[in-house]
Amino acid sequence: MRWADSFIAVDWGTTNRRAYRVDGSGHCADEFEDSKGVLAVGDKGFPAAVQEIRDRLGDLPLLMAGMVGSNRGWVEAPYVPCPAGLDELAAKLAKAGEREFIVPGVSYSAPDRADVMRGEEVQLLGAVATGQVEHEGFVCHPGTHNKWCVLHQARLHNFQTVMTGELFSLLKAHSILADLLSAPVEVNDAFRAGVTKGLGEEALPADLFEIRARFLLGKAKKEDAASFASGLLIGTDVRIGLAIPAAAEVMVMGRPELTKLYAAAIGIAGRTAIEIDGEKSFLAGITEIAKRIDK
């Protein structure tokens, strides 16, 4: 059996999973997505959850990435420290079974900082493998936890996580701002004003409350609040990210509805942003890792 001839790739996150049947040339022949994320499957449910994937996509070896390799997942795949490339990831696969391998996450550790990622590394290094991201590139990967990633010699050299997406979700679902944040976020004047504030002097926990005060005092419209709040959080995130010494051009990778917001904010900060597709990069990265198993 050669993995790279045909295998199933699974991007298995906390709340969702996406599975692909990958053919010998790294293309997706079939796929599905459902809400059986790591938390829904639970401790003992993985053998059955994997059988279900094979019933749908074929009796093939499985190469998995994401939270499935965390301490809440199936088998813990310890973090590979930076600098980490495809070779380092492939060398440290965790084996859940004879034909079930899990890609490790990546850690960054310095005297003054610590960080972890799990899942994004496959997309990131896949984009390097396909040439979408340069060997010395700088990548912004928004999501629940945005990752700013510095590449050096085609390996992940350093990264910083900013929990922007999660903070926005918490505020929208549970905070005193909740009833103000229901409108869709758009790149409009309110968003741009929020970005400018976030890029400037930092007083985030005060600026967030002011959204409510401005609305109550008739100084801002309710329909602008979500875009302003998102701009404020993303502007703060971009200020943190652009302080990292890295290439001038920022590749923004992820879902288009998020990458467009970050690309706009990076533009307001005076830097060039280029949006790239995260899903294609995942397939490229996981296929490269499968090839390395066969070597």
* Min dist. Cβ of residue 222 to a copy of itself (A): 13
Q: Of 9 and 238, which CB lies nearer to a copy of itself in the complex structure?
A: 238
Question: Residue 132 or 161: which CB sits closer to a copy of itself?
Answer: 161
Between 6 and 144, whose beta carbon lies closer to a copy of itself? 144
Which residue number, 209 or 275, has a Cβ lying nearer to a copy of itself? 209
The smaller minimum CB distance to a copy of itself, of residues 131 and 245, is found at 245
Q: How far is the CB of 206 from a copy of itself (least distance, A)?
A: 5
When the beta carbons of 8 and 139 are compared against a copy of itself, the nearer one is 139
Angle between helices 189-199 and 204-216 (to 10 degrees): 150
Q: Find the shortest distance in angstroms from Cβ 100 to a copy of itself.
A: 23
Tell me the β-bridge partners of 22.
Answer: 7, 28
Report the nearest approach of a copy of itself to the CB of residue 213 (Å): 4
User: Binding residues for a copy of itself, per CB under 8 A?
Assistant: 79, 107, 109, 113-116, 145, 160-164, 166-167, 170-171, 173-176, 202-206, 208-210, 212-214, 216-217, 219, 233, 236-237, 240
- Residue (of 101, 146, 115, 95) closest to 253 by Cα position: 146
Torsions phi, psi of 29, nearest 5? Answer: -95, -25
The CB-of-129 to a copy of itself minimum distance in angstroms stands at 26
How far apart are CB 162 and a copy of itself at their closest, in Å?
Answer: 5
> Which C-beta is closer to a copy of itself: that of 63 or that of 211?
211
Evaluate whether 185 touches 226 at the Cβ level (below 8 Å): yes
Q: What token pair was written down for 56? A: 């749908």
The one-letter amino acid code at 269 reads A
Shortest approach of a copy of itself to residue 110 CB, angstroms? Answer: 10
Q: How far is the CB of 268 from a copy of itself (least distance, A)?
A: 18
Nearer to a copy of itself, 67 or 129 (CB): 67
Which amino acid is it at 166?
E
